[in-house]
Amino acid sequence: MTETTGRPATASGEFALGGDLRVNRLGFGAMRITGPGIWGEPADRDEALRVLRRAVDLGINLIDTADSYGPYVSEELIAEALHPYPADLVIATKGGLVRPAPGVPWEAVGRPPYLRQCVEMSLRRLRLERIDLYQLHRPDPLVPLEDQVGVLRDLQAEGKIRHIGLSNVDTDQLEQARAIVDIVSVQNRFNITTRDSEPVLEHCEQHGIGFIPWFPLAAGETAEAGPLAETAARHEVTPAQAALAWLLHRSPVMLPIPGTSRVAHLEENAAAALISLNTDEVEQLSALA
């Protein structure tokens, strides 16, 4: 691997969300720029702003957030750090997940009037006239999915959303939503050791849908020994970097969004795009699930 210079994220390759929204495949997840427990202001606000600006410098042009991160803090920081936005920057946000306090379980709220309010408020906080990618954060089991996706379709028709994505869904829910509106991305938990969403990833591959893995760096005990540690040592990188490189090699529709609150860690993550794994290494790491 070469040194982290220039815009390493561009080495991850491109993916066209919806066929027309081109992004570099290695993005940034803006959940961890908030306070402890994903609640409130960050401990170091200036560093959080530096992280966002440095992400763009590194060639990252997909930033993923949600109104529930803070809540609201992540979106507000993105606007403060980056508005007016670079022409090629895609900001993806999510709505429909709430909690009253840190440490309390997240709850889905998918009533159409509430989702409409979520979109309107995200537009205001992000200082946008249209959100490039808006994702239902988690389907609400108490509300028909067609109603939840339907209101997003309506907002798309009104010009407030460009593309629609889903998060935390199974294949049946994805197919149900696709019968209502074009779905360009799915954001599910997926990493080198957690692969419950393999069927969803396969569906995305078959239909050209972007797959955004959340919690992409859960390497766990595999970082201490075995194929991941060995691969990292061969390439003179960290196990976390090797795990990110594996995600990029795993599928052409994979769009990892590792997050951090520190510039140094951000630069390390971006450098993972420069790692070239061979076929044997990819297969060995794929067997870790």
Task: Give the residue numbers annotated as catalytic, written as ranges.
Answer: 69
SS3 23: strand
Of 162, 169, 148, 251, nearest in space to 207 by CA: 251
If you search the block for the tokens 């993806």, which residue do you land on?
92
Cα distance between residue 266 and residue 276, in whole Å: 19
Cα distance between residue 140 and residue 111, in whole Å: 8
Of 52, 102, 60, 56, nearest in space to 76 by CA: 52
Task: Kindly list the distances between the CA atom of residue 43 and the CA atoms of 30, 34, 54, 142, 259, in Å, as whole numbers in the listed order.
Answer: 15, 8, 18, 36, 16
Cα distance between residue 32 and residue 68, in whole Å: 12
What ranges make up the beta strands (E) of the chain?
Answer: 14-17, 21-24, 28-29, 62-64, 90-95, 97-98, 107-108, 131-136, 161-167, 183-189, 210-214
Q: Which ranges in 179-237 belong to alpha helices (H)?
A: 198-207, 227-235
Of 112, 24, 5, nearest in space to 64 by CA: 24
Of 265, 208, 224, nearest in space to 33 by CA: 265
Ramachandran region of residue 41, left (φ > 0), alpha (ψ -120 to 50) or beta?
beta
